[in-house]
Structure 1
Amino acid sequence: MFDTKTVSLEWGGKTLTLETGRIARQADGAVLATYGETVVLCAVTAAKKVKEGQDFFPLTVHYQEKFSAAGRIPGGFFKRERGATEKETLTSRLIDRPIRPLFPEGFYNEINVICQVLSYDGETEADMVAMIAASAALTISGVPFMGPIGACRVGYRNGEYELNPSLNVALDEEGRLDLVVAATQDAVMMVESEAKELTEEEMLGAVMFAHDEARKVIGAIIQLAEQSAKAPWEIDSSDDKAAMKEELRGIVGADIAAAYKLTDKSARSEALNAARAKAKDHYAGADGQTQMTAGKLVKKLEADIVRTAILEDGQRIDGRKLDEVRPIESMVGFLPRTHGSALFTRGETQAICTTTLGTKESEQMIDGLEGLTYTSFMLHYNFPPYSVGEVGRFGAPGRREIGHGKLAWRALHPVLPSREDFPYTIRILSDITESNGSSSMATICGGCLSMMDAGVPIDRPVSGIAMGLILEGDKFAVLSDILGDEDHLGDMDFKVAGTENGITTMQMDIKVAGITQEIMGKALEQAKAGRAHILAEMNKALGSARTELSAHAPRIVTMQIDKAKIRDVIGTGGKVIREIVAETGAKVDIDDEGLIKISSSDNAQIEAAKAWIEGIVEEAEVGKIYNGKVVNIVDFGAFVNFMGGKDGLVHVSEMRNERVEKVSDVVTEGQEVKVKVLEIDPRGKVRLSMRVVDQETGEELEDSRPPREKREGGGDRDRGPRSGGGDRRPRGGGDRGGRGGDRGGNRDRGPRRDGGSDNGGGDNGGGSGPDHMPAFLKDD
């Protein structure tokens, strides 16, 4: 029933299998790609006709992760996959960027590329598998695709490159690189990466290593296409409109050349719009198709003029040299209530960046195939229409905003301090207020300065620069710090960010059929010099992170406790920790390893919560004086809570040096008192004393009670003053009342209530007998 075609490749220690003909047979091209136990289905469909008047290529790529692929049910109320997550959006862009330039100019049929993750093994990353599946599906679909492309992920560990490591391995303690590359047989098309300060040589070596591995995948796709590719589409041939283009050169060529000599963007835009309107007026009487063709030829004429000036004369739009960076101005701390802020301006590109510090509860929860994960570093990028002087949509971030924000995130993430050293959640917000090229790099520079202004102890400052390329045959020119027009009219957008020690991120998009190792090496070296210049300009505003946090930022103190004490700090049903938070006002978080984070903008609240917790986990020490609170009054004394979570008994005889008739005459419930630990019995019962501590100063006092004779068989038991009788007499005779008094006082049980005993007629005033004593005192 199924005419299934399959190709397999042993690659990176796993089997890559590409299959077609069994699933999604009504699509123009459908491939099921399996690598390890990760399975991705990609289906391609293309419209057979172009919509009337359409003059752009409507390619749409959708990547979707099915929760069932990892044996999970989606969270939330609806329990189903809904809008695209950030990861799905970023992966959709990752697939789109290398395949878009490989469609012929003038091809305007709408194409959908839909990739769905059907199985995920937790090790093999699905984004790279989806890129391979999309390339294979386009190659066999028959649409005019100048591919195929191959793709792979590269890691770098101990001086060796690794093929297709999992994400959690690529950047672990020893891993230094997470690089994704897409390439044709002859050239690299797309690069996306995060690195731990790799050199230019190491990064270039990783790209070349990836290109070699990508060629193996391209060979497998070609094998599949030889078995199953559909007949290629016939593309309408048309002349290159050379005559019309030359006519337009005579009409508006001089105007366009003059416009591109204006260094101010607004003035240049006005002059260009006037030239375009002049061309449109010339063809006002022509049919709609001719007018649309004229508009496109004007854009080609603009590109020819700019590119020729750069290649032949080294003359850029704003008059700069090829490797020259626009003027930079940086300012920090200009927003009074933020935790950290920076205004970064480079030429006509400007970003306001703010850093906000939060506690653990501010971490972002991410629900994906890997399960619930949390991130403590966020970077959000906004691009309002006024930044380019236009009227447009203003609202939720689009794919471009998410992509630019992630690029800046990758640049700054490698230099962040560890959670142990800086236990804060960090959010950087970048609002682009002006844009004329490389606003994502302005976000990196401004975001870095705002973190330093907030007191985030980053390893080293990070700067970023966008490089461009003009390529005509064998001639090429690499441009540093490109303008928006140089980006639109050029052949490459190559962004590099890093510290003085090395690269932290690199992103490349190509609009032509790819670039060579020579061009990329030249671009990396030129970018290194540009980054160093920008870092020097940033240092003029702030050279290193501030040593003090903003007065408006929360303070976080960490403390480590024994895991056995966690239940004591939390309490039954969270009673104790809730009480700590309610009483002190500080926020308290505790993890399963016993790491406690106490946070507040008020240091007094932090210290109060810390002291409380220390009191809970600390072991009481005999002879030490503590602050306590009376929690319960009984006939024979008062129970005092001290060290946060411990109770001890202050017997009535240990309240004052003189006789106490009634406990409530000395203390009340809730009263703050100072106590000394007299004894801790083997069962942990604590006996306290108030009378030997100055209740005002907390200093220990001399014991003013008369000395007692040692008991038979032991020394002085220190059980309080005797309440009656005299010295203890031999059992054979003498004053038995003295013996009775000795029993009443020396055993620290208080006078008897029964008015006497057969032991004698000593002082038998009020007090508690044995039946009213706490259990640990009865054992004496």
Structure 2
Amino acid sequence: MTMFNKVTKTFQWGSHTVTMETGEIARQATGAVLVNIDDTVVLATVVAAKTAKEGQDFFPLTVDYIEKTYAAGRIPGSFFKREAKPSEHETLTSRLIDRPIRPLFPEGFYNEVQLVIHVMSLNPEVSADIAALIASSAALSVSGIPFDGPIGAARVGYVNGEYVLNPGPSELKNSQMNLVVAGTDSAVLMVESEASQLTEEVMLGAVVYGHEQGKVAIAAINDLVREAGKPEWLQAGTWVPPVKDEEFIGKVTRLAEDKLRAAYQIRSKQPRTQALREAYAAVKDALTAQEVAFDEVKVEQLMFDIEARIVRSQILAGEPRIDGRDTRTVRPIEIRTSVLPRTHGSALFTRGETQAMVATTLGTEQDSQLIDALDGEFRDNFIFHYNMPPFATGETGRVGSPKRREIGHGRLAKRALVAVLPSVSEFPYTIRTVSEIFESNGSSSMASVCGGCLSLMDAGVPLKAHVAGIAMGLIKEDNRFAVLTDILGDEDHLGDMDFKVAGTSAGITALQMDIKIQGITKEIMQVALAQAKEARMHILGKMTAALDGSRDDVSEFAPRLYTLKINPEKIRDVIGKGGAVIRALTEETGAQINIADDGTVTVASNDAAKAQDAIKRIEAITAEVEVGKVYEGPITKLLDFGALVNIMPGKDGLLHISQIAHEHVNKVTDYLSEGQIVKVKALDVDDKGRIKLSMKALLEKPAQQPQAQEGSSESDQQN
């Protein structure tokens, strides 16, 4: 008899076999599920507090995705040999899991919930993020915590015109799309994608396909819950939804509605924000004057709900939006390039009250980022960083290391631009682009895409096309809906969807969608994509007018890169013993030198003359000795039987005593001395690389003496 009440469910999912287990591991957690997809094993655990903290006014959900190096049979490379702070990939995957599950917790549920996901084993051809999403959904579903799930998730590739379910890293190399979709049985909640300029129809088809495939996982999770699910908190009375005090709601509404409506007639963000603050304060003062007992947190939540109702009803009624625009208009755009004189490329992109200053720096291979991923190390030659200081929203706050949001926005902008970058062979620079958000009122990540594209072009990076991004919103009530182009920050908070689309005139390069409600239909997504394309084309026109293509050359302040190809067997000659040769080359020429395993040498320098000097030296070191060619060089050593002559850098040949002169040579020192510069001809190079030289071959043969020969003949005859 076992001590575990273990329940296992197995199902076939495309080409993969998926096993879900609960009841054996992590039994102290509120919910725990182990998911195995073809040897990629992920454990998801969830713990929820039974009560909310006093005065809690938000839902404190924490999601931590953790990759253990033992999962891939590796030992951490750090000094302490243990996992340290989360990597960028772990942070992004934590966000990927958080986004689709957060909207499914009930309104008013403020109990602390922590979801921790451990990658325990990794098959390099099965990505752990989809397994983590499935495991998280299952753990929440069996826990009994109030959760309107489960959700399913799937990765979709696009190869040879066909959708591919859950492609592995090898398949993704040949895929034109890498899309992750998550949702419930009835609705899509989250989409994250990068693509190679694909059409709206192909992208929408991928979302629908992925959602359908995710339902297979949902059905299996429901089976697991029926057999192993814990009592639901709602049924057991562990958590009771807060009861609405209709009388108090009515009182606050009467005090607040007119003030809030007046505030939302103000078109500029800062005056509107100030008017809203004053409205909140006035309502609290009025309640205090009426001697009404109230909780400030509840009053603020009620007023936020009133704000949402006012804004949403106005938009659905066809009235102007918060800033006076209609649903399809993009805010005014101003663009400047080459803004920062000493950077390699820069652009200032302003759209309404959102502004991004984007700078691009070009570096060498040595500047590329070394990524220590679970499945091995690799180098990234394109780095995109996004920063948003607190002053961008007129606030004070901590300035320091990037938060999850900043990391996520940077990755989204990077995804949007990767599709149009040149290959490393075409443009062998390491590229770092940094977006500094100086103003933010909606869609700063898409401003980073636009500014990033212009900054790259200003730096002379030969992009294949301009890339623009736009954020779309949604207001939906029953069967009525309105899709909003270029949403403001307030419209993001008060609306039902944040849908970001980036792409070229030919198609989409990145897509991110977060939906806060259920019931988003294919029709709504079609409208959103069509409206986004219209806005994208408008922005692309503005960008092209500002800078119609990449600069013909890189900045005068950027390093110049020169490449040459050498025989891979000669790499050791260029590096030298202990790196002595390449170190001397670098120090003497001031150039940076990188050598790839295939013999590609990249020389970088801000001074073209120094770069050419380094190239000539490398060519001399790696040059092959040509039989029959004449060389000139110093004698490096005298031997009893000849001398060694340095004819090329690192190459000495033997000048045998018999090849010094036509006449008989008794002593080498009678003809040669160390350091003497001599001309020699290469006679031969044997299989071991030994070089035979000759001075004699370059000397004119002495004239014969016929008289002496004739005299000797006469004497012979006399004899």
TM-score by length of 1: 0.85
Residue in 2 that maps onto 1:180: 180
Aligned residue for 2:284? 280
The residue type paired with residue 153 of structure 2 is A
Against the structure 1 CA distance between its residues 278 and 652, is the aligned structure 2 distance closer, same or farther, given a 3 Å change threshold? farther
**Deviation (angstroms), 1:520:** 0.7
Q: For residue 76 of structure 2, give the secondary structure of its aligned residue in structure 1.
A: coil
Alpha-carbon distance in structure 2 between the residues aligned to 1:63 and 1:513 = 25
Show the counterpart of 1:527.
Answer: 532
Hey, what's the Cα distance between the residues in 2 that align with 1:728 and 1:474?
123
Partner of 2:22: 20
What is the deviation of 1:373? 1.6
Q: CA deviation at 1:577?
A: 2.5
Q: Secondary structure at the match of 2:198?
A: coil
Deviation, structure 1 residue 384: 0.2
Aligned to 2:306: 301
Gap change, CA 1:616 and 1:105, over 3 Å in 2: same
Give the corresponding residue for 1:156.
158
Is residue 2:206 matched to residue 1:210? no
Q: Which residue identity does 1:597 align to in structure 2?
A: T
Deviations 1:25-53 (A, max 9, x none): 11111101111100111111100111111
- Asked whether 1:440 is paired with 2:453, we answer no
SS at match of 1:284: helix
Aligned partner of residue 251 in structure 2, secondary structure: helix
Show structure 2 runs of 5+ residues with no match.
662-666
Q: State whether structure 2 residue 691 is matched by structure 1 residue 685.
A: yes
2-side partners of 1:537 and 1:663: how far apart?
A: 80
Match of 2:220 in 1: 220
Give, in whole Å, the separation in 1 of the partners of 2:707 and 2:636.
Answer: 35
Structure 2 residue aligned with 1:90? 92
User: Secondary structure in 2 aligned to 1:733?
Assistant: helix
Pairing partner for 2:103 from 90, 97, 101: 101
Most deviating of 609-618 and 517-526: 609-618
Question: Which has the higher mean CA deviation after the structures are superposed, 364-373 or 41-50?
Answer: 364-373
Instruction: Identify which of 106, 111, 114 aligns with 1:112.
Output: 114
Name the SS of the counterpart of 1:313 in structure 2: coil
Quick check: 1:720 aligned with 2:699? yes
Alpha carbons of 1:269 and 1:633: their partners in 2 closer, same or farther (altered >3 Å)?
same
Pairs within 5 Å for 1:385-424:
385-424=390-429
Stretch deviating more after TM superposition (343-352 or 556-565): 556-565
Deviation at 1:623, TM superposition (A): 6.1
Q: Distance in 1 between matches of 2:255 and 2:302?
A: 12
Q: Distance in 1 between matches of 2:482 and 2:614?
A: 62
Quote the Cα distance in structure 2 between the aligned partners of 1:177 and 1:415: 14
- The question of 1:311 aligning with 2:313 is answered no
Asked whether the equivalents of residues 49 and 111 of structure 2 are also in contact (C-alpha less than 8 Å), the reply is yes
Compute the displacement of 1:287 (Å).
7.1
Corresponding residue for 1:70? 72
SS at match of 1:529: helix
What root-mean-square deviation, in Å, do the aligned CA atoms of Structure 1 and Structure 2 show? Answer: 2.9
d(CA) in 2 for partners of 1:237, 1:724: 118
Shift of 1:284: 2.6
Distance 1:145 1:569 in 2: 63
In structure 1, the partner of 2:57 is: 55
Cα distance change on mapping 1:489 and 1:78 into 2, 3 Å: same
- Partner residue, 1:762: none
Number of corresponding residues: 702
Change (3 A) 1:236 1:574: same
CA shift at 1:591, angstroms? 1.9
In structure 2, the partner of 1:733 is: 712
**Aligned CA distance change for structure 1 residues 458 and 278 (closer, same or farther; 3 Å):** same
Residue type at the aligned position of 2:320: Q
Rounded to whole Å, the distance in 2 between the matches of 1:300 and 1:735 is 133
Q: What is the alpha-carbon distance in structure 2 between the residues aligned to residue 335 and residue 728 of structure 1?
A: 88
Hey, what does 1:562 align to over in structure 2? Answer: 567
- 1:355 and 1:450 in contact (8 A); partners too: yes
* Aligned pair partner of 1:537 in 525, 538, 542: 542
SS at match of 1:32: strand
The separation in 1 between residues aligned to 2:691 and 2:241, in whole angstroms, is 97
Query: Larger C-alpha radius of gyration, 1 or 2?
Result: 1
**Among 457, 475, 483, the residue aligned to 1:470:** 475
Alignment-derived partner of residue 264 in structure 2: 260
Structure 1 CA distance for aligned equivalents of residues 70 and 642 of structure 2: 65
Shift of 1:592: 1.8
TM-score, scaled relative to structure 2: 0.92
Give the equivalent residue in structure 2 for 1:271: 275
Q: Which residue of 1 aligns with 2:6?
A: 4
1:609 paired to 2:614 = yes
| 1:696-711 alignment runs, 5 A limit | none
Map Cα deviations across residues 138-157 of structure 1 (whole Å, 9 max, x no partner).
11111110000001111000
**Aligned residues: percent identity?**
52
Q: Residue in 2 aligned with 1:510?
A: 515
Q: Distance in 2 between matches of 1:196 and 1:735?
A: 97
Residues 1:665 and 1:353: Cα distance change in structure 2 (over 3 Å):
farther
| 1:348 is aligned to 2:373 | no
After TM superposition, give the deviation of residue 68 of structure 1 in Å.
0.6
Deviation at 1:568, TM superposition (A): 2.8
Displacement of 1:563 in angstroms is 2.4
* Deviation at residue 728 of structure 1 after TM alignment: 8.6
Structure 2 Cα separation of the partners of residues 603 and 30 of structure 1: 62
| Partner residue, 1:190 | 190
> Residue 619 of structure 1: CA displacement?
2.5
Distance (Å, rounded) in 2 between the aligned partners of 1:49 and 1:60? 16
Residue 664 of structure 1 deviates from its aligned partner by: 12
Determine the structure 2 residue equivalent to 1:492. Answer: 497
> Residue by residue, what CA displacement relative to the aligned partner does 1:364-385 show, whole Å, maximum 9, x if unpaired?
1111211112111110111100
Deviates more, 1:632-641 or 1:422-431: 632-641
Alpha-carbon spacing, 1:65–1:676, altered in 2? closer, same or farther (3 Å)? same
CA distance in 2, matches of 1:465, 1:185: 29
Q: Which SS does the other structure have where 1:57 is aligned?
A: coil
C-alpha separation between the residues in 2 aligned to 1:52 and 1:262?
A: 35
Deviations 1:76-95 (A, max 9, x none): 11111121111111011111
Aligned residues of 2:653 and 2:690 also touching (Cα < 8 A): no
Gaps of 5+ in 1: 690-716, 737-780
AA aligned to 1:96 is: D
Partner of residue 34, structure 1: 36
- Matches of 1:257 and 1:144 in 2, distance apart? 35
Classify 1:240/1:336 alpha carbon distance in 2 versus 1 (closer, same or farther; 3 Å).
same
CA shift in 2, pair 1:632/1:494, >3 Å:
same
Q: Which moved more, 1:642-651 or 1:7-16?
A: 642-651
| Whole-Å separation in 1 of the counterparts to 2:633 and 2:589 | 16
Which residue identity is paired with 2:148? M
Q: Could you say what secondary structure the match of 2:712 adopts?
A: coil
Q: In 2, Cα distance between the equivalents of 1:562 and 1:681?
A: 17
Name the CA shift for 1:474/1:688 in 2 (closer, same or farther; >3 Å): farther
Give the letter for the 2:10 counterpart. Answer: S
Superposed displacement of residue 722, structure 1: 6.5
Alignment pair present for 1:248 and 2:227:
no
Distance 1:454 1:151 in 2: 39
1:551 has 2:546 as partner: no
Matched residue type, 2:407: I
Match of 1:373 among 370, 375, 378: 378
1:582 to 587, 595, 603: 587
1:492 & 1:664 partners in 2: Cα distance?
A: 94
1 CA distance for matches of 2:526 and 2:620?
A: 61
C-alpha distance in 2 between matches for 1:263 and 1:667: 91
Opposite residue 133 of structure 1, the aligned amino acid is: A
Q: Residues of 2 paired with 1:547 and 1:362: CA distance? A: 23
Aligned counterpart for 1:335 among listed residues 331, 340, 354: 340
| Cα separation, 2, equivalents of 1:58 and 1:678 | 80
Which residue is equivalent to 2:200? 200
Code of the aligned partner of 2:250: E
Please tell me whether the aligned partners of residues 682 and 691 of structure 2 are also in contact (alpha carbons under 8 angstroms).
Answer: no
